[in-house]
């Protein structure tokens, strides 16, 4: 008998994209369900108030609630470590597992894992963030050994507004970054509606397109022991058996 896989997603409160997109991706996939727990996030910036939104003390209770649903893996479905530092996410995952006994990942860690699993050497970034946040992201990713080759960003701060960006705008940013020689492009924000663009743009541009929502699902399902190939229509990352264990 196939065992049902339950995936827990810790979700920014003002995010309007990741829940419906994750649910759409799992539509028709047997025995896999996603479950969501929110905490307050309203803006992305580098000032103290904005950074304090991501303190582990407010994120861990959300993980506790997901554990009540007997989930098989938990993800912080947000990219905050991309400007706060990768160590923040590694520590968060350790804390989640220590409290709940459930394996954990994050969107930033999943994106890095995906780029490495695909052997990407020239990674580009697409985001909605402000200039200073985007510069900090480049620094953090470079420290992790993935120096962004090219990027485009929208200069937005209000987290809700990210979810209002038209897919055509996101596709244009991806094409612009691809033109500068990237072999993989990360849509770095779980409130940008880019997952449905990935497969078609991969065919058009002959590069990997790694949407944060899709890649978080890829990594979380892998941690839960699920069949990532069931999502192969959503892009190259679901067609690789190199998911990091």
Model confidence pLDDT, tens digit, residues 185-221:
999 999 999 999 999 999 999 999 999 999 999 999 9
Question: Would you say 191 and 13 are in contact if contact means Cβ atoms under 8 Å apart?
Answer: no
Residue 244 is predicted with a pLDDT of: 55
Residues 71 and 35: beta-carbon distance below 8 Å:
yes
CA 86 from centre of chain: 13
Q: What is the pTM of this model?
A: 0.96
Mean pLDDT, the chain, as a whole number? Answer: 95
- 62-92 as b/e: b if 16+ CB within 10 A: bbebbbeeebbbbbbbbbbbbbbbbebbeeb
**Residue 63 to residue 113: CA distance in whole angstroms:** 22
Phi/psi region, residue 131 (left: phi>0; alpha: psi -120 to 50; beta: rest), is: alpha
Under 8 Å between Cβ of 115 and 184: yes
Point out which residues pair with 24 in neighbouring strands.
none
Write b or e for each residue in 153-170: b if 16 or more Cβ atoms lie within 10 A of its Cβ, otherwise e. bbebeebbebbebeeebb
**Residue 153: is its pLDDT beyond 60?**
yes
The pLDDT of residue 240: 79
* Sheet (strand 208-211) strand order: 150-153, 123-127, 184-187, 208-211
pLDDT of residue 241: 60
| CB-CB contact of 9 with 75 (8 Å) | yes
Taken in order of first residue, the domains within the chain and their CATH numbers are 5-109+213-239 (3.40.50.12500), 111-211 (3.40.50.12500)
Q: From edge to edge, which strands make up the β-sheet containing 104-106? A: 32-39, 5-12, 73-76, 104-106
Distance of CA 134 to the CA centre of its chain: 16
Q: Give the pLDDT confidence of 48-87 residue by residue, as tens digits.
A: 999 999 999 999 999 999 999 999 999 999 999 999 999 9
116 pLDDT exceeds 70? yes
- Long-range CB contacts for residues 83-88, cutoff 8 Å, separation at least 24: 83/46, 83/129, 83/133, 83/136, 83/137, 83/140, 84/51, 84/54, 84/140, 85/140, 86/112, 86/140, 86/143, 86/144, 88/54
Q: Model confidence at 2, in pLDDT bands (50, 70, 90)?
A: low
Under 8 Å between Cβ of 97 and 66 = no
Residue pLDDT, tens place only, 20-34: 999 999 998 999 999
């Amino acid at each position: 008998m196939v065992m049902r896989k339950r995936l827990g997603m810790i979700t920014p409160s003002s995010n309007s994209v990741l829940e419906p997109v994750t649910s759409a991706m799992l539509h028709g996939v047997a025995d896999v369900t996603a479950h969501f727990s929110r905490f307050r996030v309203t803006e992305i910036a580098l000032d103290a108030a904005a950074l304090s939104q991501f303190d582990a003390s407010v994120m861990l209770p959300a993980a506790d609630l997901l554990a009540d649903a007997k989930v098989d893996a938990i993800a912080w479905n947000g990219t905050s470590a991309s400007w706060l530092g990768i160590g923040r996410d590694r520590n968060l995952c350790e804390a989640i597992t220590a409290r709940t006994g459930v394996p954990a990942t994050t969107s930033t860690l999943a994106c890095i894992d995906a780029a490495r699993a695909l052997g990407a050497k020239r990674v580009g970034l697409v985001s909605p963030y402000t200039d200073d946040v985007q510069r900090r992201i480049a620094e953090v990713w470079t420290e992790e050994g993935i120096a962004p080759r090219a990027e485009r960003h929208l200069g937005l701060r209000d987290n809700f507004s990210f979810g209002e960006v038209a897919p055509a705008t996101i596709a244009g940013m991806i094409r612009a970054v691809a033109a500068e020689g990237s072999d993989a492009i990360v849509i770095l924000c779980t409130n940008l509606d880019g997952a449905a663009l990935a497969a078609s743009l991969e065919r058009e541009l002959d590069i990997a397109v790694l949407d944060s929502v899709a890649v978080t699902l890829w990594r979380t399902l892998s941690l839960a022991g699920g069949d990532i190939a069931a999502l192969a229509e959503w892009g190259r990352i679901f067609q690789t058996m190199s998911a990091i264990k």
